[in-house]
Amino acid sequence: MTGKYNANGNTACPHRHCFCPMSNFSNPKPICRLVTIQDVENARAVNNLAALSMHNIDNAFSNGVPLADRTHGVWGSTPGEMLHLSGNGLVKYQFESVHDLIGPKQSKQKEKDQLDALHQRIINDATRQSDKDFPRMTVRNGITDGTKMAATERIGNLVILLCVAHTTDGMNLLKPGWTEHHITGKRFRDCIKLQLGFEKWVNESNPRSEVTNSTDLLGTLIKEIQHCFPRQRGNGWNLPKMHSLAYMPHYMLKFGMAQNFSGQIGERALKSIVKDHAQQTQRRPDVFAEQCAAREFEELVLEWAFEDIKPQLGLDFVRVDNTNPNHYSGSGEYEANFLACDNRGRGGVCVDWKDRSKGKLNICISPSLILAIRSFAVENNWMGNIQVTGWTRFKTSLPGLDEQVNFHASEYLYGGPWYDYAMVQFEEPNIERSQTVSPAKVLGFFRYDTVGVPTPSLVEDGHSRDEIYDQSMRDVNVYAVVHTASTYVPWSKIEKDFVVEFKLGPVDTCIYIVKVASIINPLFVFEDYGGSTGEKRFCVLPNSRWGRYFGSRINP
């Protein structure tokens, strides 16, 4: 067993796995001479571990504990892992760099505060979106102080930085620094996209050939990080973590996807074995470990005993999410009664909330939703009364997502309107389905209660208004009312661009009543803060598709 010298500018071999000098650590495609067991043995024999910048450590591992790698031993069995390398390392330095790009040290504090405020606004938007398919993030200290973020949150914050760099306000704040360092906005954004793709890709199951061929693209990413996030502090980008990053494909070929050797599992264990018990100890240093162990033991005994008596208590069941697409649940229920109207759709609407307190607060439903239901009826020559049951929150299963997704569509929730965005599937003859999708603001969910009125499904099935009325036809479908983009935004475009600009279409032509099954993915959408028109939006590639953003760019 050996220990490494602290890595500073004068250490000969600062990285534990190779002989490279510090100056090689920013190399985007390094080829290292890796440390072998023989190298260490030879150095130890002549008492010259210092040549490898190593200390000798005599412990249980020193006397030939067998390890799987018989050539590189422990030095080849301890890969860099993404949590510390990226989340707790490189991304942290990137945020420092953004701080310095705006102004070094304490300068330009006003601009830094503005950037933090913008970042916070977009995070607020993101946490308000349908809660799935997007990473975690934080707002505790703003991005320019990256010190207090957890590793996984840093990745979430990197996504938000990407969004910030798309908005007019964000670009104005970043531009002076970009110009000074010859960075274009496009390159800055492309760099983050590639990095986010890589972060996801390393944890996915990829063909060996793809991993082998990934070094060129990873090299590009490493070069771009250094260009777009200039680092003057310390040794610049000559960091052991950068060197480990370049070696990720090597480690992945050896150990499989990066999740297999992620530090997150160990960190989790620390949490459950130590942190969770800390409250139940006296928190005195001399007995802390012992008391944590005792609490862990007690918990295991309780767990074991519980497993044993579960059947007697009738608790030996497994909860399974119903992933049938027809399975849904709505809450925030109301009945909306559309009174008879004239032939231009003018007539009253009464809303009756199941939760009486909402009635007292006089909360209404989206005027666009009312307009959509009324217009559809009038277009199909129905001027009579219609009653619908609607929901302001709707939970449903979506294809390809393991968990059910919540959509909010409410005029008033936590102090204001809250409408989630989603990807909506449309159908058009002779056009491939992947082309006819559109981002849309979800305005509400409802079902027709009145029988014998024209509904989208009945009309689509070819029934006439009179037929529907005479036979008192019933429609059991649940519908969503959506406000779509002015044009389709195909998946292929989002997969290619990661962030895609669109405009919400005009209210009179781009509000549709669609079946709930047409909603195919939650979507994170943000506004162009500081932009001149209020209709400009950006949608972001769902998290589940990020890995392919990187993978599909690898040259075979």
User: Which residues of the chain form contacts with Zn ion (CB under 5 A)?
Assistant: 18, 20, 32
Q: In terms of CB distance, is 32 or 473 closer to Zn ion?
A: 32
**Shortest approach of Zn ion to residue 215 CB, angstroms?**
14
**Shortest approach of Zn ion to residue 444 CB, angstroms?**
58
**Shortest approach of Zn ion to residue 33 CB, angstroms?**
7
Q: In terms of CB distance, is 32 or 49 closer to Zn ion?
A: 32
Which own/partner pairs from 407-416 qualify as long-range (CB within 8 Å, at least 24 positions apart)?
407/130, 407/442, 407/445, 407/480, 407/519, 407/522, 408/128, 408/130, 409/366, 409/369, 409/442, 409/443, 409/444, 409/445, 410/332, 411/363, 411/364, 411/365, 411/366, 412/361, 412/363
Both tokens assigned to 501: 């600009």
Name the burial class of residue 20, with classes exposed (0-12), middle (13-18) and buried (19+) by CB atoms within 10 angstroms of its CB.
Answer: buried
CB 510 within 8 A of CB 489: no
**Shortest approach of Zn ion to residue 201 CB, angstroms?**
23
**Shortest approach of Zn ion to residue 199 CB, angstroms?**
22
Beta bridge partners of 335: 352, 389
**Shortest approach of Zn ion to residue 91 CB, angstroms?**
22
Q: In terms of CB distance, is 20 or 363 closer to Zn ion?
A: 20
Q: In terms of CB distance, is 32 or 294 closer to Zn ion?
A: 32
Q: In terms of CB distance, is 244 or 410 closer to Zn ion?
A: 244
Q: Given CA atoms 112, 113, 115, 116 in this order, what sign does their dihedral have?
A: positive
Please name the residue ranges forming H helices in 382-508. Answer: 456-460, 465-470, 491-497
Write down the residue that tokens 């422990």 correspond to: 74
Helix (H) or strand (E) holding 91: helix 91-102
CB 394 within 8 A of CB 516: yes
Q: In terms of CB distance, is 242 or 349 closer to Zn ion?
A: 242
**Shortest approach of Zn ion to residue 34 CB, angstroms?**
8
**Shortest approach of Zn ion to residue 4 CB, angstroms?**
13
Both tokens assigned to 277: 């018990």
One-letter amino acid for residue 263 of the chain: G
Q: In terms of CB distance, is 2 or 450 closer to Zn ion?
A: 2
CB 500 within 8 A of CB 493: yes
**Shortest approach of Zn ion to residue 94 CB, angstroms?**
22
d(CA 296, CA 232): 46
d(CA 283, CA 375): 67
Sequence-separated (6 or more) residues with CB below 8 Å from residue 125: 524, 525, 526, 527
One-letter amino acid for residue 361 of the chain: L
Q: In terms of CB distance, is 18 or 442 closer to Zn ion?
A: 18
Q: In terms of CB distance, is 34 or 274 closer to Zn ion?
A: 34
Q: What is the CA radius of gyration of the chain?
A: 29
Q: In terms of CB distance, is 247 or 338 closer to Zn ion?
A: 247
d(CA 458, CA 467): 10
Both tokens assigned to 437: 């999708």
**Shortest approach of Zn ion to residue 30 CB, angstroms?**
5
**Shortest approach of Zn ion to residue 24 CB, angstroms?**
6
Tell me the three state secondary structure of residue 115. helix
Write down the residue that tokens 């277009």 correspond to: 379
Q: In terms of CB distance, is 26 or 543 closer to Zn ion?
A: 26
**Shortest approach of Zn ion to residue 246 CB, angstroms?**
8
**Shortest approach of Zn ion to residue 423 CB, angstroms?**
44
**Shortest approach of Zn ion to residue 229 CB, angstroms?**
22
Count of CB atoms within 10 A of residue 370's CB?
20
Q: In terms of CB distance, is 32 or 383 closer to Zn ion?
A: 32
Q: Is 519 left (phi over 0), alpha (psi -120 to 50) or beta?
A: beta
Helix (H) or strand (E) holding 478: strand 478-484
Q: In terms of CB distance, is 132 or 254 closer to Zn ion?
A: 254
Tell me the three state secondary structure of residue 497. helix
Q: In terms of CB distance, is 32 or 171 closer to Zn ion?
A: 32
d(CA 358, CA 334): 10
